[in-house]
Amino acid sequence: MVTRGRAALGVALALVLALATADAEQRPVQRTMRFAERGTTLYVTTDVTNLFDKAAYDRLEDGLASTVVIRLWVYPSGKKTPVAFQLLHREVVYDLWGEIYEVAVTGPSGRRLYRVKYKAEALKLVTGLDQVAIAEVGAIPYEKNFELAIVAELNPVSAETMAEVRRWLSDGAGGGLDRGGSFFGSFVSVFVNLKVPDADRVLRLASQPFYRKRPKR
């Protein structure tokens, strides 16, 4: 027989474990990413596939749109002030009549539309980051460590978030620094302080430290 005191203790322990689990799920996942410098721009290659669990993946075929918003900040290691910001917007919907996935990918190179037959192909298009421009190299001094922070949201419902997405996309502000927008300033709240965005699912990724080598003369 469980006494009232023991029952209360059990509830408290369960609550602590639940909160600890939720906190762990919100913490950034360390990910080795590939960086490349071409011309005056720095690019990254990685993915946010883990944003989709099995339920979210299965919902891709129900005919309703799934939206992915990806925010990327470049910041000096050990600091909380980013030097560059990028935003990507992806959307996928399954055409039940045509039995085809329609995918819209919007980023620094504009908006591209794809039509693919298989769900796995659609997932790769909305979660893959292949040579995505993240900063102008002028914002990243030689031989200083920087890191990339990524926050990906599945189906964000915040009116403020979507308004800022529309502003960013309409301005065509791809490729770098945007100190005037709320997304640029949101780095500390959503990545450092782990404020939970209003979305179906959230994934946070943190890159390994990287630096630019000074060219040999």
CA 136 to chain centre: 19
Residue 69 near residue 88 (C-beta atoms within 8 A): yes
Which pLDDT band holds residue 45 (cuts at 50, 70, 90)? very high
- Mean pLDDT is highest, among 8-22, 119-133, 155-169, for 119-133
Tell me the mean pLDDT in the region 175-186.
49
pLDDT tens digits, one per residue of 51-95: 999 999 999 999 999 999 999 999 999 888 889 989 899 999 999
Strands 201-207 and 29-31: parallel
Which pLDDT band holds residue 43 (cuts at 50, 70, 90)? very high
Residue 171: the pLDDT is: 62
Which residues contact residue 53 at a Cβ distance below 8 angstroms, ignoring those fewer than 6 apart?
A: 201
Domain assignments of the chain as residue spans, ordered by start: 30-207
Element of type H or E holding 28? none
- Whether residue 177 is predicted with pLDDT greater than 60 in this model: the reply is no
Residue 103 near residue 126 (C-beta atoms within 8 A): yes
190 C-beta neighbours (distance < 10 Å), count: 20
d(CA 81, CA 186): 10
What percentage of the chain has pLDDT greater than the value 90?
54
pLDDT tens digits, one per residue of 118-147: 999 999 999 999 999 999 999 999 999 999
Which pLDDT band holds residue 207 (cuts at 50, 70, 90)? very high
Residue 159: the pLDDT is: 62
Residue 186: the pLDDT is: 55
Tell me the mean pLDDT in the region 99-118.
93
Residue 195: the pLDDT is: 57
